[in-house]
Structure 1
Amino acid sequence: MHTLNSLLQKISHAKSLDFGDIINNSIELFKKVWLKGFLVILFLGIAAFIISLVFQLIGLAPKAFDINNGFDIESFSDFYFQNILYSIPQNILVSTLTLAFVAAFYRICKQIDSGETANDDYFYFLKKEYFTKVFMLGIIYTLIAAAAQRLFLIPYIYVFVPLSYFAVIFAFNPDLSETEIVKASFALGNKKWLITFGTMFVMLIIGGLGILGCGIGILFTISIVYLPSFLIYKDVVGFKAHSEIDKIGLNDDDDDDSDY
């Protein structure tokens, strides 16, 4: 586990990363974890559907924009701003589950990437000892995203990159406080903003090609979007060989205190 100071120090002294290497390594890692990624996307899709259904039943679901009365900028603007606020409760739950499942996916990716025995516990960060923290991160994530959305496109594009590091920072540093995770995520996101955005954009295009497989194929491919953040974190910060969250399911002869 890293402290906040050690994380910030590594981030501030981070070496330059190669765009092509991140792309190639993302593709190679995806070949090993695509099924794990599919299950994460499936869990998220089912969870989002159930949450949306519940909110519709209780009358708190975000409303769709009514174009029957014509389209004008003023009415769309009013709808946009109202819907951002109206969506916050639902988005908090979705964000919480997304962070928990993606953090578990990163934990699995690390085990596979380093040749460890994978422990496919997709609900690892929904356990009692982590749930309060991941829920608070879900609230913070949603409020930051909502504030950026109210300022329209450019601020939201900017904060999207630091927000994408919430899950990976949390996955490998769950002992950090919520505030420390946010600080580290924004430090890494700001330091490596361009390469993160660029590689994620390319992975989004590649992952989106799955839609050619009768539409449902995208469920098998879109998880590749999560891999650049994982690989950038690995190159910038690195992993302790056996942090407490990784000891479960590992062979005893794998014990080592060196950095991976």
Structure 2
Amino acid sequence: MNVNLAPKPINFKFGEYINKGFELLKKDFGSVFVGFLVTFLMSIIPFCGILAVGNYYKYLRKLNKNQSVSAGEIFDFKDFMPYFILQLIIIAGVFVLYIPMIFFGVFAGITSNNSGEPNPGMMIFMFPYLFFMIATLYYFLLKGFYMIPLISFKEITDLKTAWNISKVMTKGNLWSILLFAFVVGILSQIGILACGIGIFITIPFMYAANYFAYEDAIQQIEYDEITEIGSKNEF
């Protein structure tokens, strides 16, 4: 079946994704947890962190659709290159943003007073730039929110294409996605209260909720060319 993509702004269903994430945990917590442990182990391998997460979402997708799946499938390196390049781009971007901070630090040391305290005037420039740096990082991370499912679910290995599609999908939804990430992040950290051990129970929820956000978004931009042709012929 030939399935194509028609990128458009996504109808972001905040509460639905959280509820479905909890439902998947209740339905098959053992499998979700084992998959998370395998993902954690694979993430230890250098430059395989995002790849492991992308494969985990594939695993959760099969699990949610009641398909036969093994946690061993997470150790799949088929999508290594696009995720490897993506990580290099992220590292390079963060490094470029930090360069002015290094200069600020050096200049502040050079212009410090006799007691060794940094020049207060430098703080006037440093704090606004720090805000700009954080805002820039969040902007690009949010605009690229759907790149992982586009690579893992739709096998779009060209990062420029995945980025452009994700930009369209997130249009008008940045605040909703940011709030969703914040709420899910808070819920996933609740396990720290249980002597830290509980975090291994609550963190899988974060991935489950994200999976449903990704799955729903992909379904919204998919269209079946054969079905569409048939529906047009009916008229």
- TM-score, length-normalised on structure 1? 0.60
The one of 136, 140, 148 equivalent to 2:85 is 136
Q: Is the 8 A contact 1:211 1:217 kept in 2?
A: yes
Work out the CA distance in 2 between the residues paired with 1:2 and 1:192: 29
Quick one: structure 1 residues 210 and 2, their matched pair in 2 at CA, closer, same or farther if it must change by over 3 Å?
farther
Aligned residues: 187
Q: Is the 8 A contact 1:200 1:226 kept in 2?
A: no
**TM-superposed deviation, 1:175:** 4.3
Which residue of structure 1 aligns with residue 199 of structure 2? 218
Larger Rg: 2
Which residue of structure 2 aligns with residue 108 of structure 1? 59
Which residue of structure 2 aligns with residue 123 of structure 1? 75
- Check if 1:171 corresponds to 2:123: no
- SS of 1:11's partner is coil
Work out the CA distance in 1 between the residues paired with 2:204 and 2:141: 16
After superposition, residues 155-234 of structure 1 pair within 5 angstroms as 155-234=136-215
Worse-matched range after superposition: 100-109 or 193-202: 193-202
Work out the CA distance in 2 between the residues paired with 1:147 and 1:228: 32
Q: Is the 8 A contact 2:142 2:178 kept in 1?
A: yes
RMSD: 3.2
Instruction: Give the residue type in structure 2 aligned to 1:103.
Output: G
Unaligned stretches of 5+ residues in structure 1: 48-92, 241-256
**TM-superposed deviation, 1:172:** 0.9
Quick one: structure 1 residues 191 and 36, their matched pair in 2 at CA, closer, same or farther if it must change by over 3 Å?
farther
Percent of aligned pairs with the same amino acid = 22
- TM-score, length-normalised on structure 2? 0.66
Q: Is the 8 A contact 1:204 1:224 kept in 2?
A: no
Work out the CA distance in 1 between the residues paired with 2:199 and 2:157: 34
Instruction: Give the residue type in structure 1 aligned to 2:61.
Output: K
Worse-matched range after superposition: 187-196 or 165-174: 187-196
**TM-superposed deviation, 1:229:** 3.5
Quick one: structure 1 residues 42 and 19, their matched pair in 2 at CA, closer, same or farther if it must change by over 3 Å?
same
Worse-matched range after superposition: 100-109 or 220-229: 220-229
Q: Deviations over 1:110-164 (max 9, x none)?
A: 101112112321121x24xx33232212222333444566742222222222344
Which residue of structure 2 aligns with residue 50 of structure 1? none
Unaligned stretches of 5+ residues in structure 2: 100-131, 228-235
Quick one: structure 1 residues 209 and 42, their matched pair in 2 at CA, closer, same or farther if it must change by over 3 Å?
farther
Which residue of structure 2 aligns with residue 11 of structure 1? 8
Quick one: structure 1 residues 138 and 236, their matched pair in 2 at CA, closer, same or farther if it must change by over 3 Å?
same
Which residue of structure 1 aligns with residue 219 of structure 2? 238
Instruction: Give the residue type in structure 2 aligned to 1:113.
Output: N
Which residue of structure 2 aligns with residue 23 of structure 1? 18
Which residue of structure 2 aligns with residue 154 of structure 1? 135
Q: Which of structures 1 and 2 has the larger relative contact order (alpha carbons within 8 angstroms, sep 6+)?
A: 2
Which residue of structure 2 aligns with residue 55 of structure 1? none
Work out the CA distance in 2 between the residues paired with 1:184 and 1:2: 19
Quick one: structure 1 residues 35 and 184, their matched pair in 2 at CA, closer, same or farther if it must change by over 3 Å?
same
Work out the CA distance in 2 between the residues paired with 1:109 and 1:118: 9
Work out the CA distance in 2 between the residues paired with 1:149 and 1:238: 38
